[in-house]
Amino acid sequence: SLKLDAPVEEKELPPHACAYCGIHSPSSVVKCLTCNKWFCSAKGSAFSSHIVNHLVRARHKEVQLHPESSLGDTVLECYNCGTKNVFILGFIPAKSDTVVVLLCRQPCGASTSTKDMSWDISRWQPLIEDRAFLNWLVTPPTDAEQLRARHLTPPMIAKLEEMWKEAPNATVADLEKSAGVDDDPHPVLLKYDDPYHYQNIFGPLVKMESDYDKKLKEAQSEDGLQVRWHLGLNSKHVASFILPKIESGDVKLAVGDEMRLKYKGELRPPWEGVGYVIKIPNNQSDEVEVELRKSANDKSVPTECTHNFSADYVWKATSYDRMQLAMKTFAVDEMSVSGYIFHKLLGHEVQVAPTKITMPKKFHVPGLPELNASQIAAIKQVLSNPLSLIQGPPGTGKTVTSATIIYHLAKMSNSQVLVCAPSNVAVDQLCERIHRTGLKVVRLTAKSREDVESSVSFLALHEQVRMNTTNKELDGLVKLKTETGELSSQDEKRFKQLTRQAEREILQNADVVCCTCVGAGDPRLSKMKFRNVLIDESTQSAEPECMIPLVLGCKQVVLVGDHKQLGPVIMNKKAAKAGLNQSLFERLVKLQFTPIRLKVQYRMHPCLSEFPSNMFYEGSLQNGVTAAERLRKDVDFPWPVPETPMMFWSNLGNEEISASGTSYLNRTEAANVEKIVTRFFKAGVKPADIGVITPYEGQRSYIVNTMQNTGTFKKESYREVEVASVDAFQGREKDFIVLSCVRSNENQGIGFLSDPRRLNVALTRAKYGLVIIGNPKVLCKHELWHHLLVHFKDKKCLVEGPLTNLQPSLLQFGRPRQAYR
Amino acid sequence: EEEEIVVTRQQEEVDPEEEAEFEREFAKMMAESLDSRKFERKQQFDLPLPIKLKPRESTAVGESSAANEAGPSEAPPSGEKMAFSLLTKKGNRQQTRTVELPSDSHFAIAMKKKQQAEKEE
Ligand SMILES: [Zn+2]
Ligand SMILES: [Zn+2]
Ligand SMILES: [Zn+2]
């Protein structure tokens, strides 16, 4: 079968690394001849060097130097009698020459000196001085080495030595494992002693999330599916079917995921095939589409059958493996990140000498829009610092700013820039912008996504390889493969070889390489070094995910994001609670690292930006658009205040549990969403310019159906209206947004809605108008929503009654019950 | 490109009790080692100096060693060095290897004094 990913070489510490701390420069380590472990001469926080510590605690006495040290693999022993006990060894000098020799104190060093002897025995000097070997014999590690090394406290050293008595091959990692056997994972910290400490906290959390994800995905197997077949443009078979379990919302299927389809009926012999998901349920249809991978038995695909199929999710550990590997690389490879970044990531206090750079004369970049003052200020600061955070509130031109920074980084440093984001959509967007500046960009995609349509397909590495016709042999094989669908095994081997070579060349010639954070762990990048790394939407990825692009040699890092909008999605509640849902950006902010904030927003009508600015950005958001520019006078809509295109429409209908039993819906709200959408249609708003946001999957699917069944406008129009979760709308905008809050009960909480970051995102998607549908009596109990409702009421935009006759609501709000922070 | 950074880390406190405990263990180790040698037969040490030793140069008697060429990769940054030869035995063969002693070490100071005295003579 086809092996998609080449194995990634793991970075390991060399065998002669200090068994305590990992330091491994040959001149600083010695081998204990009793247990064959290596130890260094660092003192760490203990008051004796690691080697002496070990010898005393383990009661071992004999050592050998490293073959690559200046004295070679010398065994330390008495020149005269050959004893190797280092506790009684010492040096004596020659009387009249610069020669020294090792001699034991007893008996050889105790013999009396005679006058005609060439050696001065009276000046015997012990090998161990100050609980360490003489530093000219075993060099103390440099400060830099010690700062990067594993940090072991004396009690941990003692425990480790105890452990070795039972299990001589145990490692510090085993020690930590035995320490953390309790159920609850250790929560994340703000600061870490060393990269191993970091790995010890995050490793188990990533593992938990990975196990949970696997369990969830594998539980998705479904039998008795009905399948429709068609042939894709690339002549691959596509199966369409409905997966009932998706509706529950527990299951998150994504484009590019792998599924195995099986035929289990009796009309023909059993069959199975593997393919990639190319479509997931959306407002067009609830069907999932899987495109089968080309294989030798392509002709046996049971396209004549429609019933008795089953689908299994093929779970891949790739992304989690890459996170773990990145953390390991961070620990053992001193070239993985610069010293400054290393300490910053661990939360240490570190200062760096200012880098001497010549600022570009002008910051505006060809192909990109002009910049405002806050954007220029941000860019200037970023270019002169090894690590920067840029906070981009909604609509503040984050992508343009990022693209400009990338341009200057590439031009100034003359080295390649790695550009990442957690999602493919975000990577594509940025990739396209960078392409417009004229830089050479390569978009690296996972093999499984090579066939997925995107706006930047022409920049994709595989596409650039395909279009590159300079290599006639490769070109010929590509054509042959396209025509026949398959190559002989010999041709296939050659094809792969030539492809790899072409890929390498294209990657090396690029100014900028773009991929997802997980994509940065692609084996095709593992031999490359990226001095400059920019991670967009970094607040949406878990910390270990951010580490993947960082450990490729970064010296200058830009993290872009907004910690006041939605963070990473972590499915395992325990792992999330332990802090895996906190982004690196957010932790750095908590460590008093001030982000550079972009302050001018160009998206929303000023009345729409006012509340988010005050509530989430200390009132710092300025409007780069005027009210007049964001008022659609041509759209006849019953806004309570015509020049303030926003309203909170009080709906008191009850919430219900959805059919799947795990989600919520609200019929009244759904019916009213349809009425508002229809009203927008009648006013001439295009379906693609309207977005419906609802936090619950149950309500999403209910709204889609309601619009189809009761909408009085053209069915296709409703289908073109995007109905999705807040999360799906992050990073995007629509002219008009309708928000259906769903939750409406007397006693329970408001679930998802209580997250201020989710509310911020929901409120900041609309350019020209926002309609919120919800139950003010329930929502106002929550402090944040209380503020929102008071705001709408003050603006005379809180209304009730039928859409054709909206009236100001006279509701009074008491003090909220729950605080939101 | 060189990176100049300054890292501030809190000094970790060492538990004085643990320190004392280790100190005891260390002393015990020393004492036991010496004790075990008490009844060792005295062996007179008298060895002629290896001939033709030129300090400040790698010299190997008996066999040449590749390790000699590779000096310490990261010499401690402080002060001057003085090259000494360390006389060792490999099997029955004698060999010398260059060691760089800090010029403020006992041996180096003594050697400088001696050289100074010889000059004045
Ligand atoms: Zn040992
Ligand atoms: Zn060590
Ligand atoms: Zn001896």
Q: Which residues contact A87 (CB under 8 A, 6 or more apart)?
A: A55, A61, A128, B29, B30, B33
Looking at the CA of A18, which ligand is closest? 2
Determine, for residues A70 and B33 on separate chains, whether the beta-carbon distance falls below 8 Å.
Answer: no
Determine, for residues A117 and B46 on separate chains, whether the beta-carbon distance falls below 8 Å.
Answer: yes
Which amino acid type is present at position A525? Answer: L
pLDDT at position A816, please?
66
pLDDT at position A247, please?
58
Query: Which of these, A99, A579, A207, lies nearest to B114 by C-alpha position?
Result: A99
Q: Which of B24, B81, B86 to mutate to test the interface with A (most CBs of A within 10 A)?
A: B86
Q: Report the percent of chain B where pLDDT is more than 70.
A: 74
How far apart CA A247 and CA A702 sit, in angstroms, is 11
Instruction: Tell me how far apart the 2 most distant CA atoms of chain A are, in Å.
Output: 120
pLDDT at position A818, please?
56
How far apart CA A21 and CA A781 sit, in angstroms, is 54
Residue A402 CA to ligand 1 center (angstroms) comes to: 53
State which residue of chain A sits closest to B118, comparing Cα positions: A96
How far apart CA A209 and CA A215 sit, in angstroms, is 10
Q: What is the tens place of the pLDDT at every residue in A388-410?
A: 999 999 999 999 999 999 999 99
Determine, for residues B70 and A53 on separate chains, whether the beta-carbon distance falls below 8 Å.
Answer: no
Q: What is the tens place of the pLDDT at every residue in B33-66?
A: 998 888 777 777 778 787 655 444 443 333 333 3
Q: Kindly list the residues from chain B whose CB atom is less than 8 angstroms away from the CB atom of residue A94.
A: 49
pLDDT at position A142, please?
92
Residue B77 pLDDT level (bands cut at 50, 70, 90): very low
Residue A63 CA to ligand 1 center (angstroms) comes to: 8
pLDDT at position A422, please?
95
Residue A5 pLDDT level (bands cut at 50, 70, 90): very low
* Mean pLDDT value across chain A: 90
Q: How crowded is residue A496: how many other Cβ atoms within 10 Å of its Cβ?
A: 15
Q: What is the tens place of the pLDDT at every residue in A370-379?
A: 999 999 999 9
Query: Which of these, A516, A420, A525, A506, lies nearest to A461 by C-alpha position?
Result: A506
Residue A633 has pLDDT above 60, yes or no: yes
How far apart CA A223 and CA A551 sit, in angstroms, is 43
pLDDT at position A489, please?
85
* DSSP letters spanning A343-381: HHHTT-EEEEPPP--PPPS----TTS----HHHHHHHHH
Determine, for residues B5 and A350 on separate chains, whether the beta-carbon distance falls below 8 Å.
Answer: yes
User: The whole model's pTM is what?
Assistant: 0.87
Give the closest of B44, B76, B111 to A135, CB-based.
B76
Q: What is the tens place of the pLDDT at every residue in A281-313?
A: 776 777 899 988 877 666 788 999 999 999 998
Determine, for residues B8 and A352 on separate chains, whether the beta-carbon distance falls below 8 Å.
Answer: no
pLDDT at position A140, please?
94
Query: Which of these, A99, A101, A98, A77, lies nearest to A89 by C-alpha position?
Result: A77
Q: In this structure, are residues A21 and A151 in contact, taking their beta carbons and an 8 Å threshold?
A: yes
Which range among A594-603, A737-746, B76-85 has the greatest average pLDDT? A594-603
How far apart CA A110 and CA B43 sit, in angstroms, is 9
Q: Is the ipTM of this complex over 0.85?
A: no
Query: What residues form DSSP beta bridges with A39?
Result: A30
pLDDT at position B13, please?
74
Q: In this structure, are residues A6 and A13 in contact, taking their beta carbons and an 8 Å threshold?
A: no
Looking at the CA of A28, which ligand is closest? 2
Q: How crowded is residue A643: how many other Cβ atoms within 10 Å of its Cβ?
A: 11
| pLDDT (average), residues A163-172 | 92
Q: What is the tens place of the pLDDT at every residue in A317-366?
A: 999 999 999 999 999 999 999 999 999 999 999 999 887 888 999 999 99
Give Cα separations from B54 to A100, A700, B50, B61, B84 (angstroms): 14, 87, 11, 12, 9
Q: Kindly list the residues from chain B whose CB atom is less than 8 angstroms away from the CB atom of residue A90.
A: none
State which residue of chain A sits closest to B39, comparing Cα positions: A107
Q: How crowded is residue A809: how many other Cβ atoms within 10 Å of its Cβ?
A: 20
How far apart CA A514 and CA A535 sit, in angstroms, is 10
Structure tokens at A574: 């325990």
Determine, for residues A88 and B44 on separate chains, whether the beta-carbon distance falls below 8 Å.
Answer: no
Q: In this structure, are residues A499 and A465 in contact, taking their beta carbons and an 8 Å threshold?
A: yes
**Tokens 């080697």 correspond to what residue?**
A51
| pLDDT (average), residues A123-146 | 92
Residue A76 CA to ligand 3 center (angstroms) comes to: 11
Q: What is the tens place of the pLDDT at every residue in A472-512?
A: 888 888 888 877 767 888 888 999 999 999 999 999 999 99
Determine, for residues A119 and B105 on separate chains, whether the beta-carbon distance falls below 8 Å.
Answer: no
Which of A200-204, A242-246, A724-728, B86-90 bottoms out in mean pLDDT, i.e. has the lowest? A242-246
pLDDT at position B74, please?
42
Residue A117 has pLDDT above 70, yes or no: yes
Q: What is the tens place of the pLDDT at every residue in A44-61?
A: 767 789 999 999 999 999
Distance of residue A340 Cα from the nearest chain B Cα, in angstroms: 6
How far apart CA B38 and CA A532 sit, in angstroms, is 64
Q: How many CA atoms lie within 13 A of A10 on its CB side?
A: 11
Give the closest of B6, B70, B96 to A70, CB-based.
B70
Structure tokens at A566: 């939605």
Q: What is the tens place of the pLDDT at every residue in A581-613?
A: 999 999 999 999 999 999 999 999 999 999 999
Coil, strand, or helix at residue A214?
A: helix
How many contacts does A have with B, using Cβ atoms within 8 A?
199
Q: In this structure, are residues A195 and A327 in contact, taking their beta carbons and an 8 Å threshold?
A: yes
pLDDT at position A744, please?
84
How far apart CA A141 and CA A720 sit, in angstroms, is 65
pLDDT at position B52, please?
56
Angle CA(A603)–CA(A607)–CA(A612) in degrees, nearest 5? Answer: 75
DSSP E strands: which ranges in A237-358?
237-241, 258-263, 271-279, 288-292, 309-314, 349-352
Bigger pLDDT: A454 or B28?
B28
Residue A7 has pLDDT above 60, yes or no: no
